[in-house]
Structure 1
Amino acid sequence: MKRSMIVLGCILLAGPALAQSVGEKTGINSALGVAPTTVDFVKEVAISDMFEIESSKLAEQKGNAQEKTFAQQMVTDHAQTSNDLKGLVTSGKVKAELPTTIDSSHQSKLDKLKVASGKDFSSDFDSDQVSAHKDAVSLFERYANGGDNADLKDWAGKTLPTLRHHLEMAQELGKAPSVGQSSK
């Protein structure tokens, strides 16, 4: 029992050194509507963008016509948000480190997409996109409303309409016939 308490204590004390707070990592902040810290926000956005770009590149190759059109838009838009975020960090306006690799949960989703094909690919990709964009809208809304960096709050607020549109587009994936049609 003492050993468990010591390990737990060490983990809690190491919290600030970890790349992401427990509240953000577990989804508690989202459930409570609490704004993420600047460090958490930057990390989540960067990883989300990496996932969107990589999964969409797979969809450009393996998806149906609707998914390919959607994927092209995701690659373009998420490359832009990645560049915007990088600019804020490198300018010194935002004090945070940008991750250079995707986290394990997003990597496992990518790995699943890499081996999937046909309807299995479409089902996984479409579901991943809806989930990822719901998470992104929540993350950006919470930071835009309560973040602690004015420049980043402003950027989050300006980016929200695009993310909401992405969510609407993602929710339409799989609803339209895929034979010979592309999305709007």
Structure 2
Amino acid sequence: MKVFSLLAACAVLSAVLAFSDRFTHEKPLFAPDQQFVTEAAEGGMLEVKLGELASQKGVSQEVKTFGKTMVTDHTKVNEELKALAQKKQISVPATLSARKQQKYDSLAAVSGEQFDMLYMNMMIASHEQTIGLFQTESNKGEDPELKKWADSKIPALKHHLEMAKKLFKASPGATRH
């Protein structure tokens, strides 16, 4: 009985040490980069899903076209991010977080001009947030390759933001500033 208890204790101790060793060596090295990859991947997936929705439900042709552009551009970026993350052995989420799914669901529930306005407003907020995320990785990330990749995407994200702002201002019912 004592031998069995001793063996069980050794097995538990080995598992604890292996588990803690994994996190003490890998987690600090990749924690900021892992967070960036997760947030960028979720944001990219949401952009694609919202773009698909806009290309179907949008009222104005400009909104439909913008949605298609988001699908094309963000699908390409998402694939690049997946490949880079895989190379770095960083996991990429396969589905939207509950918070991002809620954003999608709230947009899917509206239609007409209200849809166009809400979609363009979401695109402005989303791209402002994403630019900040990519700038933070570019400036403070740990992995040089991820930093360089994030930096290379900022001009396109800024271009998307400007396009979204112009479309929002042009949409019927938009509050003009």
User: What range is the shorter-chain TM-score in?
Assistant: 0.7 to 0.9
- Structure 1 residue 127 displacement after superposition: 1.1
Label 1:136 to 1:172 Cα distance change in 2 as closer, same or farther (>3 A).
same
In the aligned structure 2, how far is the partner of 1:153 from the partner of 1:174? Answer: 31
Matched, 1:160 2:154: yes
The corresponding residue for 1:41 is 36
Asked which structure has the greater CA Rg, the reply is 2
Match of 1:106 among 100, 106, 110: 100
Name the one with the larger helix percent: 2
**Mapped contact 2:85–2:91 kept (Cα < 8 A):** yes
Q: Give every structure 1 segment of 4 or more consecutive aligned residues whose post-TM-superposition deviation is greater than 2 Å.
A: 174-178
1:126: how far off?
1.1
- Which of 114, 139, 160 is matched with 2:133 structurally? 139
Where structure 1 has 5 or more consecutive residues not aligned to the other structure, the ranges are 1-15, 17-35, 179-184
Return closer, same or farther for 1:78/1:39 CA change in 2, 3 Å cut-off. same
Tell me how large the CA RMSD over aligned residues is.
1.5
Please name the residue that 2:17 is paired with: none
Q: Which of 115, 123, 131 matches 2:117?
A: 123
Q: How does 1:1-184 map to 2 (within 5 A)?
A: 37-63=32-58, 64-90=60-86, 92=87, 94-176=88-170
Give the CA deviation at 1:177.
5.8
Distance 2:171 2:70 in 1: 21
C-alpha offsets along residues 39-96 of structure 1, whole Å, 9 cap, x if unaligned?
A: 1100001000110000010100111211111111110110011110111122x2x231
Query: Which whole-Å CA distance do the structure 2 matches of 1:166 and 1:65 have between them?
Result: 17
Q: Give the Cα separation in 1 of the matches to 2:89 and 2:118.
A: 35
| 1:140 alignment partner AA | F
Whole-Å separation in 2 of the counterparts to 1:137 and 1:119: 27
CA–CA separation in structure 2 for the residues paired with 1:60 and 1:145: 34
C-alpha distance in structure 2 between counterparts of 1:177 and 1:98, whole Å: 35
**What percent identity do the matched residue pairs reach?**
36
Q: Which runs of 5+ in 2 are unaligned?
A: 1-22, 24-30, 173-177
